[in-house]
Amino acid sequence: MEYITLNNGISMPMLGLGVWNAHGDEAYNEVRMGVDEGYRLIDTAAYYENEAEVGRAVRDCGVPRGELFITSKVWPSEMVHGRTLASFERSLDLLGLDYLDLFLLHWPIGDVAESWRTLEGLYREGRVCAVGVSNFMPAHIDELLKTAEVVPALNQIESYPHHAQEGAAGYSQRHGIAVEAWGPLGKGKALGDPVIAGLAGKYEKTPAQIVLRWHLQRNVITIPKSVRRERLRENFDIFGFELSESDMAAIAALDRGAGERYYPTEFDPDRFGVIPDSGMAAR
């Protein structure tokens, strides 16, 4: 495993396990298999509705809590006065943990400044080791930094070769904010690209390993998701080889620039659901 040191001195694994869209036993089994295969970073969110299963797997896995790095996130419908703290308490309760390693604002929507103050409070109280943001573009970072007392440790953004978001990634990194890629494999779609396939042949690796290695060498943390043990194992096996500079550049050249992703500025319950059983209705 390789580690990155966040801007507050905390050490974080560069590769972890995404658990979006895994529910019930599937989520539990994914985390148990992932930890078995060596993963120590686990990325969940209130919105994924699997914190209870993730937490149970974390408690059952036999690895000491201090060796694991658990992330969760507050959803925009809960980034409202008074609700951010309740959302954190609920996440912690569902996970059955007494602290989180990293807690993120899931999107730059809602009362960002006030929610961030809540995260700063949790950080100062030692209930989270680090606080960060997700889906923040440069303008969102600028806005947050106008009132923030704690600079986010990390920005989790969508990033894969065809939609690398170098602008947002570079901007974050220049502000001391580590970058973590969600959808690092382009949800699997990046893997059929002929350039990636060619490099897989050249390095005798799989397309997923080439893409994950590219992220690692550009200093971007990744959290690929799979519920299949053989893929978990494959995705973890990226530390024993190195892509050349020209091959890194060949992957970077696949970037098509701005993607079709919708980056809203306001909470829209039709596009952004509320968390059904949180008892917290959208504004």
What is d(CA 78, CA 33) in angstroms, rounded to the nearest whole number? Answer: 31
* Binding to ligand NAD, residues 126-185 (CB under 6 A): 134-135, 156, 182-185
Active site annotation includes 3 = no
By CB under 6 A, is residue 31 in contact with ligand NAD? no
Q: In this complex, which beta carbon is closest to ligand NAD, that of residue 80 or of residue 154?
A: 154
CA-based nearest residue to 84, from 72, 74, 95: 74
73 and 107 Cβ atoms separated by less than 8 Å: no
Q: In this complex, which beta carbon is closest to ligand NAD, that of residue 120 or of residue 237?
A: 237
With CB under 6 A, what is the number of residues at the site for ligand NAD?
24
162 and 211 Cβ atoms separated by less than 8 Å: no
81 and 112 Cβ atoms separated by less than 8 Å: no
Which among 48, 123, 160, 171 is annotated as catalytic? 48
What is d(CA 122, CA 137) in angstroms, rounded to the nearest whole number? Answer: 24
CA-based nearest residue to 70, from 99, 50, 94, 49: 99
73: left (phi over 0), alpha (psi -120 to 50) or beta: beta
* Binding to ligand NAD, residues 40-69 (CB under 6 A): 43
Count of Cβ atoms closer than 10 Å to residue 269 Cβ = 12
| CB-closest chain residue to ligand NAD | 18
By CB under 6 A, is residue 188 in contact with ligand NAD? yes
* Binding to ligand NAD, residues 204-233 (CB under 6 A): 208, 223-226, 231
Tracing tokens 């502000």 back to the chain, one arrives at 175
The least CB distance from residue 109 to ligand NAD, in Å, is 11
Residue type, 218: R
Q: In this complex, which beta carbon is closest to ligand NAD, that of residue 82 or of residue 269?
A: 269
Q: In this complex, which beta carbon is closest to ligand NAD, that of residue 115 or of residue 246?
A: 115
By CB under 6 A, is residue 118 in contact with ligand NAD? no
Binding region for ligand NAD (CB under 6 A): 18-20, 43, 106, 134-135, 156, 182-188, 191, 208, 223-226, 231, 234-235
**Which residues does the annotation mark as catalytic?**
48
